[in-house]
Structure 1
Amino acid sequence: MIPADSSTGRKTSTTSLLDPRLSVWRPPDSSLRDVIKHPMPGLPPERWIGFWVRSFTCVARSRVIEVRGLEHIRAAQDPFILTPNHSQRLEAMTLPALLAFIRDGKVVHFFADWLVMLYPIIGRVVRMHGPIVVGRKSAKIAWLNRFRSRFVGALPPFEQAANLLHAGESVAIFPEGTMNRDPKRLLRGYSGAAQLSLKEQAAVVPAGIRFPRRKGEGAIGDWDPWVLEFGPAMRPPSLKGEQPEIREIRDWHAQIMQAISSLSGKQWTPENQRTRYVA
């Protein structure tokens, strides 16, 4: 089948993802052949990376209803800081693959918890998008902590992110800081993305994941289909001094979270919980 750009009504093939005028893509309308044959000229030369990107894009054909706002995350828009909400386990692996697929093979570097790297297959998949590994948490099984240094970089995570931005690469942070299955509320979130944006004067691209086919009031499930929408780039305000002040960080974080709220359909206020509403 041939996907349609709902903004124009035109029928397009996945090769038209290379067309910067395309703003909407419906993965379910793409055939397996479309995904396999889709050109990704910016992909690293390692064949297993292409296999990973195409495999998870194939998974997305049955789970992702629609992707909107493609014009905001094109490789030509680099560098930026992507800030999506986070409601399912599968997002952490599907989102990087979808971005690489849409962006002609150009990856976005996601922040990732080092504990994920302990799982052989999942860890290998996550490493394919050149993640920024965060070593803040400790493993519940104490002896596993001896492996932390194998995965965590020599530089602090936000310094790694700053270096990537300076090199013209884009990075991604889940500002909620953990998976949040509540269907109506975002977590308060952490201000790291706001602080990074202010310090480096880097644009933020908010992203919202919503679940329009959900029924009932229960927690979001791992297999609930979703719509992904990228918003316009948000330019950080100029700093008053050399370093961002606490008030500047707090205000910019609030603006970012409000943008994510609008895109995801989830409510946000500064009084929202920091930790999960739903286990």
Structure 2
Amino acid sequence: MVLPAVNLAVRYRVTDARKFPQAGAFVLSPNHFSEIDPIVVGALAWKLGRAPRFMAKASVFKIPVLGWLLRKSGQIPVERGGVARGNEPVKAARRLVDRGQMVIVYPEGSLTRDPELWPMRGKTGAVRIALEQGIPIVPMAHWGTQDLMPRYSKRISPFPRKTVHVKIGDPLSFDEFKGRSLDTATLNEATAILMDAITGLLEDLRGEKAPAKRWNPSEHDQKETGRFEG
């Protein structure tokens, strides 16, 4: 249903498509700066030969029609919060591994808040899935969806057709972390490696260097509320 509309609005220019795994379970981690990114990235995954899977809040699956479409397309409902619900993402990840499927996880957790649309500080969900399940994580960067739908905008501008440039990185196996406790320090260290890889790919696409310090939303929130120290 989505592909015809995407084909009309987007042309892809993909670098290193051969690095996109054609079999087996893995996590795909792209940058995120437009509300339309999941549709554009999902369509790209389909074009590259894999059915895209996303983990989404279980409440979204209760919406009439949309919930039915999400389930039929293989998306994964995840309950959040509470002791019993805390294991839901882990169970969902195990199902992916058992079925040899891929899952798309945005490591930033939301649209980047960096003023220049560079990747901001990542959250640990993507690397946690990869490390706990022993599967690779593939970094990816794209540039151009902001022309289709600017950050925070509700309007799509499909015409004229937009070009989305994509670069896929080498799969990260995180061998150096195997055997280590998956504590906060380990997860943060692995996440920093992932975000460095994504940022490097985006630098290549944009032909410019990212800021030396990655945007940290918590620091800026503290400054705005007067709670920042140091």
Q: TM-score, normalised by structure 1?
A: 0.60
- Higher RCO (C-alpha 8 Å, min separation 6): 2
Correspondence 1:273 to 2:214: no
Q: Return the alpha-carbon distance in structure 2 between the equivalents of residues 174 and 85 of structure 1.
A: 7
Q: 1:208 aligns with which of 131, 141, 149?
A: 141
Specify the alignment match of 1:134 in structure 2: 78
Specify the alignment match of 2:194 in structure 1: 256
Summarize the alignment of residues 68-147 of structure 1 with structure 2, pairs less than 5 Å apart: 68-76=15-23, 78-103=24-49, 106-136=50-80
What residue identity is the alignment partner of 1:56?
A: L
User: Could you report, residue by residue, the CA deviation over 1:114-166 in whole angstroms, capped at 9, with x for unpaired residues?
Assistant: 344355454444334312223338xxxxxxxxxxxxxxx99602321133124
What residue identity is the alignment partner of 1:235?
A: S
Q: TM-score, normalised by structure 2?
A: 0.71
Matched-pair contact (CA < 8 Å) for 2:93–2:133: no
What displacement does 1:232 show?
1.4
Equivalent pairs: percent with the same residue?
22
Specify the alignment match of 1:168 in structure 2: 100
SS in 2 for 1:127: helix
Matched-pair contact (CA < 8 Å) for 1:114–1:135: yes
What residue identity is the alignment partner of 2:25?
A: P
Q: Return the alpha-carbon distance in structure 1 between the equivalents of residues 86 and 190 of structure 2.
A: 29
What displacement does 1:276 show?
9.7
Flag as ranges the 4+ runs of structure 1 deviating above 6 A. none
Summarize the alignment of residues 56-67 of structure 1 with structure 2, pairs less than 5 Å apart: 56-67=3-14
Matched-pair contact (CA < 8 Å) for 2:136–2:171: yes
Q: Return the alpha-carbon distance in structure 2 between the equivalents of residues 85 and 275 of structure 1.
A: 20
Q: Return the alpha-carbon distance in structure 1 between the equivalents of residues 202 and 152 of structure 2.
A: 13
Q: What stretches of structure 2 of length at least 5 have no aligned partner?
A: 204-209, 222-230
Q: What stretches of structure 1 of length at least 5 have no aligned partner?
A: 1-51, 138-152
Matched-pair contact (CA < 8 Å) for 1:208–1:263: yes
Instruction: State the Cα RMSD in Å.
Output: 3.4
Q: Return the alpha-carbon distance in structure 1 between the equivalents of residues 80 and 220 of structure 2.
A: 18
